[in-house]
Amino acid sequence: MQVEIIDVFSPRWLQILQNLRHDVYHLPQYIFTEAFRTNSKPEAILISEGEKTFCLPYLLRLYTGLFDKSRILKDCYDIGSPIGYAGFLLSDAATSEPNFLKAAIEQLITTFKARNICSAFFRLHPILNQNINQVLSSEIIQISGETLSIDLNLSPAEIWRQTRPEHRTSINRCKRNGYTAKIVDYKEYIDEFINIYYETMDRVGAKTYYYFDYEYFCKLMNLNEAIHLCIVEKDNEVACAGIFTECCRIIQYHLGATKSQFLKQAPSKLMFDYVRFWAKERGNEVFHLGGGLGAKINSLYHFKAGFSNQKHSFLTLRLIIDKEKYYYLVNLRAKTLSIEPEKLLNSNFFPAYRCEI
């Protein structure tokens, strides 16, 4: 097997993607934005054998802020996944041969260990990586939740029929009351979106993690034609807005927000209704809505389920590359937090030494 580590600025990255169906989360522009946000190094690994290829983007991280500075392991790293659903990409030849995937994962572990990487965590793509848990061991693959999507190959009538009655009522009411949805220029409206987004985060008491800074939203512009902003207006005032991505016939819901004064009218239902039919007209095949907050079945999940009953397992790939270092770091983190290591290990957070208990 041949192994190649690819820099995010290398033209090789986009050359590889030309031959693999991918999503926005695999684009170098997106990985670079995530690396900037998380203070990590963006890379991708390509493992190939003839026409069989395995490609995986990731974020290489140090252990900044986790332990007493005097006890940090030097030149030791772990790997994280960008926000969203990146996962790995397989060529058609690789997909038809499950043993190649198993061998590629083994090669991945060997390569990471040689680079002094302790652990690796990846959010897999619910569509591009579906049913991978039937191929890889349950020791490294975990079903971490459930996501929802809309099949855009269905007729408009069937898409509408699958919409929950109360959602249909809200959508029709919004239209009667003069609410209108449209796709607008991202750059022109991004400041207004950010204001509404922060208002929404304040209202729901969101964790600091979700307060993306202004530069983050600006860097998303580098996605060019892959990024879209939809707004819903009432009397020329923006009531709600959402960021959506489009890549290889896959639409993804990224972020959304609603002004508090319009919450009762639920304009976001009209927004999702508009985007799904807009996406269908553009020839897309699937509109992935995502899951609930923290991949749980909660109110956000219930809201999305009102548009479709098409479900996907949300899988995560969890690799302990160096067991000795991994458990050393778990114990070190436990001492930093003044708790027992078992509390971290039983948290289901991975890697356990990054748990925020």
Is residue 300 domain-resident? no
Give the strand pairing for 77-80 and 117-123.
parallel
Residues 104 and 160 in one domain: no
Residues 280-306 have pLDDT tens digits of 999 999 999 999 887 788 899 999 999
The answer to the question of residue 196 being in a domain is yes
297 is a domain residue: no
Residue type, 352: A
Say if residue 173 is in the same domain as residue 115.
no
Within 10 angstroms of residue 209's Cβ, the number of other Cβ atoms is: 8
Cα(164)–Cα(214) distance, rounded to whole angstroms? 36
202 is a domain residue? yes
Q: What's the average model confidence in pLDDT over 175-197?
A: 97
Would you list the DSSP string of 37-105? HHT-EEEEEEEEETTEEEEEEEEEE--TTTS-GGGPPTT-EEEE--SS----EE-HHHHT-HHHHHHHH
DSSP letters spanning 245-278: EEETTEEEEEEEEE-GGGGGG-HHHHHHHHHHHH
Percent of the chain with pLDDT over 70: 98
Residue where one domain finishes, among candidates 232, 263, 284: 284
pLDDT tens-digit map of 258-272: 999 999 999 999 999
How many structural domains comprise the chain? 2
d(CA 105, CA 143): 18
The winner for highest mean pLDDT among 63-77, 229-243, 281-295 is 229-243
Tokens of 17: 């993607």
Is there a domain that residue 306 lies in?
no
pLDDT of 212: 95
Over the stretch 100-146, which tens digit does the pLDDT of each residue have?
A: 999 999 999 999 999 999 999 999 999 999 999 999 999 999 999 99
Query: Which single residue is written with the structure tokens 């991505």?
Result: 245
CB atoms within 10 A of CB 94: 23
Provide φ and ψ at 166, rounded to 5°. Answer: -70, -30
pLDDT digits (tens, 9 = 90+) for 85-96: 999 999 999 999
pLDDT value of residue 68: 65
- Residue 217 shares a structural domain with residue 125: no
Q: Assess contact for 229 and 197: CB atoms under 8 A.
A: no
Q: Judge if 140 and 7 occupy the same domain.
A: yes
pLDDT category at 69 given cuts 50, 70, 90 is low
- Domain containing 27 equals 2-146+314-354
Say if residue 175 is in the same domain as residue 264: yes
Read out DSSP for 102-138?
Answer: HHHHHHHHHHHHHTTEEEEEEEPPTTTTTTGGGTS-T
Q: Is the pLDDT of residue 353 over 60?
A: yes
CATH number at residue 336: 3.40.630.30
Residue recorded with tokens 């959304």: 256
DSSP string, 309-349: -EEEEEEEEEEES-HHHHHHHHHHHHHHHTS-HHHHHTT--
pLDDT, the chain, mean: 95
Rg (CA), the chain: 21
Mean pLDDT of 157-170: 97
Helices and strands per DSSP (H, E), number in the chain: 12, 13
Q: Residue 141 and residue 159: Cα distance in Å, rounded?
A: 32
Tokens of 103: 């061998």
